[in-house]
Structure 1
Amino acid sequence: MNERQWGIVMRNNDLLNGKFFEGGNTNSKIAVPTSISRARYTAFALKERSIPDYDVTFEAPKDIPGNTKKPEIKFRIPRFQICDSSRVEVFETKSAIADSMASNAFSQTTVEASAGGGAFGVSVGVKAGATTSGSSSFAQSSSKDESRMHVAYLVRSYHTYLKERGI
């Protein structure tokens, strides 16, 4: 991303805005704040820092003819690190608890562990049987198996480092 694109991201996410206290009782001498909110205006600015030419991925200013030394390029781009790559997870649930966990964005391994462990880590089983004897017999059996497929798109995330020496 170039400097302009980073500026848009930082402005839209209020990364350089301060915080302020809201609310409180105005009748007393000491006001107790009821919440903390982001300031509406930018409170900080990034300092310029030089980036080596091999790290510049967009078109940089051309060299001045007759100059023996390349001009140093400075940008207001924050330091950042990409933490993971985007991926798609597909998994199946068969119980109401596992379905609820999947709907509330739990990971696939957490959902599978809860489905295998039963409710609260306790598995309960019940068996019953009866026999009758007679000249006629009747048997009926039915079964219902319901499964749900879940697809989760996990987007790429990154950390932006905004330290006091860079602001």
Structure 2
Amino acid sequence: MLAHDLGSLSVGSLLTTSTFTVKPADLTAHVESSFLGQVVGCGEEMLTTGSVSGGAPEPWGRLCPLPVVLGRVLSALAHSDPLRDVALTLRSISRVRRFGEMVVGEPLTAIATVRFRSGRVPNATHVTLAVEVHRESHHGRVGATALSFEVGLELRSAASAAVEARATAGAAAA
């Protein structure tokens, strides 16, 4: 599949990621953003991102919260070959099923199947992907399924996304 040819993402196409992990820094960022989101309007000028952890990273535990894992999976998919040079917009996540807890540093891979594709909107393609996240297994085989979900994405080629951004910026300046 060519990255610049969004039409090549047909129903039934498979996308696979390289091995990825959830890092302690991902958990720290999640906790800090959650904390800052709760106190908006309550003296935010006094808060900095270092105020939560005291400047030194602290261990947050080994279990990964679902939003952190979903974020890492979507990031890994965005860096996979067919989507590498495409502007992605997340539209929905549904049918999330966990088959156990995932831990920090655990090697994971994701396999996504295109379930639905629509190119009705000019310069954009809407796809629904059925995603399965697998634990790493020995001898290069796919391991047990740790998580599955469906995600709706809007895809735009990088060139058309840049043109739209310039047009939006020009309209806002006028």
- TM-score between the two structures when normalised by the length of structure 1: 0.25
Between Structure 1 and Structure 2, which shows a larger proportion of helix residues? 2
Higher Cα radius of gyration: 1
Between Structure 1 and Structure 2, which shows a larger proportion of strand residues? 2
